[in-house]
């Protein structure tokens, strides 16, 4: 049986280079990282390890259900927060969701629109962990800071359709080693153990450097295209979601809060439009019989989405 040190030497021999993940950590302003089979699996392991069962976990009531599913798997209680016209969870919404049982707040940056975690952190008790899921907003910035800045931990998926994709896997970045899922080794800046390395295949890790390069290029293309779209619709009733001054979204999807019929038909002929989920996460059958709370918004948005992939951008 291999010792942990022997295993890490074997990992290096397999070509599982840590440089790109260290580069990503630096870009996010974080010191440590760990990897796993998926972002949702890493979240589940964190919640399980930190005894979150029976405690309340604040999650957005919109988008992919995998985050809320991880909460339920860990036997914690999801508190679903609706989103408004900004299409992100706001500080006020989170404040309404908090209770004495709140242990973790998870913010998911839908469509590549970033959040201000410094402001969110200010309304949380010190014993509440703030997790940013930036799987859709890799490369976004808020007032010059990278997406996820100010959160205790940053979660990212490398799955299909994500701006930084190798087809699977995920990672957590943090400055606090106690928030990592696995125990580390003093030889590595990163924290990557037998358990987590085995879940993230070396072949996917080897694809990360090229995926990172492509993601940087595509981010520039998407931001340029949204500038062009904004100029094209400036004299019409078609409207993109409004973002605060100083925010630079990654625009994984481009949300139209209002879209004229002729413009909708124009985009449809290119297969660019994507219709959003018709139900909130809390309304899915998976969550019908579980104990939960919901912070409702009468104006919860269901925007029309413009999908930009690499081929279309070029």
pLDDT of 145 > 90? The answer is: yes
Tally of CB atoms within 10 A around 187: 10
Q: Strands 141-142 and 247-248, how do they pair?
A: antiparallel
In this prediction, residue 97 carries a pLDDT of 95
Report yes or no: 166 and 211 within 8 Å, Cβ to Cβ: yes
Give me the residue label for tokens 């104990």. 291
- Segment 144-160 shows an average pLDDT of 93
Give the integer Cα–Cα distance in Å for 91 and 103: 16
Give me the residue label for tokens 């992919």. 64
Q: What are the phi and psi torsion angles at 234 (to 5°)?
A: -60, -30
Tally of CB atoms within 10 A around 195: 13
In this prediction, residue 1 carries a pLDDT of 39
- Segment 102-108 shows an average pLDDT of 96
In this prediction, residue 62 carries a pLDDT of 84
Question: 57 pLDDT band (50/70/90 cuts)?
Answer: very high
In this prediction, residue 268 carries a pLDDT of 81
Give the integer Cα–Cα distance in Å for 239 and 114: 19
Domains of the chain by range and CATH?
A: 4-207 (3.40.640.10), 213-276+301-313 (no CATH)
Chain segment 67-83, per-residue pLDDT in tens = 999 999 999 999 999 88
Whole-number mean pLDDT of the chain? 82
Tally of CB atoms within 10 A around 236: 12
Give the integer Cα–Cα distance in Å for 156 and 158: 7
Give the integer Cα–Cα distance in Å for 112 and 313: 16
pLDDT of 188 > 70? The answer is: no
pLDDT of 177 > 50? The answer is: yes
Give the integer Cα–Cα distance in Å for 15 and 102: 41
Least-confidence region, from 23-32, 192-201, 235-244: 192-201
pLDDT of 273 > 60? The answer is: yes
Share of the chain above pLDDT 70, in %: 83
In this prediction, residue 217 carries a pLDDT of 92
- Segment 104-111 shows an average pLDDT of 94
């Amino acid at each position: 049986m291999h010792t942990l040190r022997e295993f890490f030497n074997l990992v290096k021999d397999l070509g599982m280079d840590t440089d790109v993940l260290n580069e990503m950590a630096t870009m996010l302003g974080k010191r440590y990282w760990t990897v796993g089979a998926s972002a949702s699996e890493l979240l589940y392991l964190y919640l399980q390890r930190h005894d979150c069962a029976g405690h309340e976990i604040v999650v957005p009531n919109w988008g992919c259900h995998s985050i809320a599913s991880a909460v339920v798997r860990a036997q914690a209680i999801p508190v679903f927060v609706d989103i408004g016209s900004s299409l992100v969870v706001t500080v006020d919404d989170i404040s309404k969701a908090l209770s004495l049982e709140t242990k973790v707040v998870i913010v998911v940056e839908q469509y590549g629109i970033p959040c201000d975690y410094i402001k969110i952190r200010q309304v949380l008790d010190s014993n509440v962990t703030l997790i940013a899921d930036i799987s859709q907003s890799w490369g976004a910035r808020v007032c010059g800071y990278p997406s996820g800045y100010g959160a205790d931990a940053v979660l990212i998926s490398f799955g299909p359709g994500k701006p930084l994709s190798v087809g699977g896997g995920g990672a957590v970045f943090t400055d606090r080693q106690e928030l990592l899922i696995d125990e580390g080794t003093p030889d590595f800046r990163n924290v990557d153990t037998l358990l987590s390395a085995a879940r993230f295949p070396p072949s996917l890790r080897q694809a990360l450097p090229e995926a990172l390069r492509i993601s940087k290029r595509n981010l520039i293309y998407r931001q340029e295209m949204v500038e062009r779209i904004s100029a094209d619709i400036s004299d019409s009733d078609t409207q993109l979601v409004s973002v605060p001054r100083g925010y630079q979204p990654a625009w994984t999807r481009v949300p139209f809060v209002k879209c004229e019929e002729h413009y909708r038909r124009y985009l449809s002929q290119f297969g660019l439009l994507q219709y959003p989920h018709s139900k909130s996460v809390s309304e899915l059958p998976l969550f019908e019989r579980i104990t939960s709370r919901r912070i409702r918004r009468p104006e919860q948005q269901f925007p029309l989405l413009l999908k930009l992939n690499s081929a279309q951008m070029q």
